């Protein structure tokens, strides 16, 4: 069975890779025209997770009208298709082009923080978090991208190859603790990027709190690591300036992880994420079932 699965994964990769590469070299005008076609298929024809998106918007924005939710939903699907294809564009985008399209107005903050200790950069699923790899062209420390390992080993290897080009070392969630501990022991300063608003399984959650006014289990792994290894923590506030252009500002959450109290980092991250969502909800990843465990809240959090 493992050999059969591996062969199927390889076959899928062989079929898909040339198509992905062709997409990545399209001129931008044609590239975003293709994204419009993908949007039509995903939203109008297939209806990918439309019910999930609608239910999430209804839960989070109970006071919004049907028309308002419909507008957000359409804009979200347009953005989601853009963002997915922009991730593919990373295969062949140049440093100068990415620097122009993904600006970092206060990168000096990271440069100052990394002089003293490792820095944990927390991204929500908002805007375009994948192009955040450009950060590693500026910082002096070693850059690490914490990611969820892809089941297809060939695509997983491709992601690692792409990120290596940008001076980034991808580490899976399982490798994170070992990597941080080793670097800490050897006094190696690192800048770690992580998308931190995932929804843990209810029975594995160590902390529940309100997110967009709904009590849910919260992934607090980044805070545990920051406090354990005394990392500085910053929030990556991504703003979509216009189609294909983003600006990311870094907001300090903790200058010294060990000096924070329990749940302080997690709560601050969630509040900053909520501010982004409220400001422009279309750019959040609404296809995730982020609030699926809201009916399993332990008594002590009620």
pLDDT at 5 over 80: no
Domain of 32 in residue numbering reads as: 2-301
Q: What is the pLDDT of residue 157?
A: 85
Q: What is the pLDDT of residue 167?
A: 80
Predicted confidence band of residue 129 (pLDDT cuts 50, 70, 90): very high
Q: What is the pLDDT of residue 165?
A: 76
Residues 137-161: pLDDT tens digits? 999 999 999 988 888 888 888 888 7
Distance of CA 181 to the CA centre of its chain: 23
Q: What percent of the chain has pLDDT over 70?
A: 99
pLDDT at 4 over 80: no
Distances (CA, A) of 146 to 105, 170, 235, 274: 23, 6, 15, 22
pLDDT at 175 over 80: yes
Q: What are the tokens at 259?
A: 């000096």
| Residues paired with 238 in a beta bridge | 248
Total domains present in the chain = 1
Q: What is the pLDDT of residue 301?
A: 78
In a 3-state reduction of DSSP, which class is residue 196?
coil
Q: What are the tokens at 75?
A: 């804009």
Closest CA to 166 of 138, 128, 195, 194: 138
Q: What is the pLDDT of residue 194?
A: 94
> What average pLDDT does this structure show over 30-56?
97
119-123/232-242 β-pairing: parallel
> What average pLDDT does this structure show over 96-117?
96
| pTM of the full structure | 0.93
* Segment among 3-17, 107-121, 164-178, 232-246 with least mean pLDDT: 3-17
Q: What is the pLDDT of residue 153?
A: 85
C-alpha span between 76 and 101 (Å, rounded): 20
Give the up-direction half-sphere exposure of residue 139: CA atoms within 13 A in the CB hemisphere. Answer: 33
Predicted confidence band of residue 96 (pLDDT cuts 50, 70, 90): very high
Q: What are the tokens at 63?
A: 């006071």
C-alpha span between 165 and 49 (Å, rounded): 33
Q: What is the pLDDT of residue 113?
A: 97
pLDDT at 107 over 80: yes
User: Mean pLDDT across the chain, nearest whole number?
Assistant: 93
Q: Which stretches within 90-188 are classed as H helix? A: 95-101, 107-113, 153-165, 173-185
> What average pLDDT does this structure show over 85-113?
95
C-alpha span between 30 and 221 (Å, rounded): 41
C-alpha span between 84 and 289 (Å, rounded): 18
C-alpha span between 257 and 224 (Å, rounded): 9
Q: What is the pLDDT of residue 280?
A: 97
């Amino acid at each position: 069975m493992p050999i059969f699965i591996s062969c199927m994964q390889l076959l899928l990769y062989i079929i898909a890779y040339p198509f992905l590469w062709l997409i990545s070299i399209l001129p931008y005008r044609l590239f975003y025209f293709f994204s419009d076609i993908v949007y039509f298929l995903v939203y109008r024809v297939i209806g990918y997770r439309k019910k999930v998106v609608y239910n999430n918007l209804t839960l989070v924005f109970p006071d919004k009208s049907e028309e308002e939710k419909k507008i957000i939903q359409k804009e979200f699907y347009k953005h989601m298709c853009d963002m997915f294809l922009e991730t593919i564009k990373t295969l062949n985008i140049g440093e100068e082009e990415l620097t122009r399209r993904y600006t970092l107005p206060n990168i000096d903050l990271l440069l100052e923080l990394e002089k003293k200790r490792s820095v944990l950069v927390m991204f929500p699923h908002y805007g375009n978090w994948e192009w955040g790899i450009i950060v590693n062209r500026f910082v002096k420390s070693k850059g690490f991208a914490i990611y969820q390992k892809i089941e297809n080993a060939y695509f997983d290897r491709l992601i690692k190859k792409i990120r290596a080009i940008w001076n980034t070392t991808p580490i899976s969630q399982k490798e994170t603790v070992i990597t941080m501990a080793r670097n800490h022991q050897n006094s190696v300063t690192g800048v770690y990027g992580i998308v931190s608003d995932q929804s843990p399984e209810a029975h594995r959650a160590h902390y529940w709190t309100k997110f967009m006014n709904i009590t849910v289990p919260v992934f607090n792994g980044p805070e545990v690591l920051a406090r354990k290894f005394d990392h500085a923590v910053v929030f990556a506030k991504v703003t979509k300036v216009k189609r294909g252009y983003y600006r990311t500002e870094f907001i300090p959450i903790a200058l010294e992880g060990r000096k924070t109290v329990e749940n302080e980092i997690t709560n601050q991250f969630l509040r900053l994420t909520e501010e982004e969502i409220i400001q422009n909800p279309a750019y959040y990843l609404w296809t995730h079932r982020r609030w699926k465990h809201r009916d399993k809240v332990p008594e002590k959090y009620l």
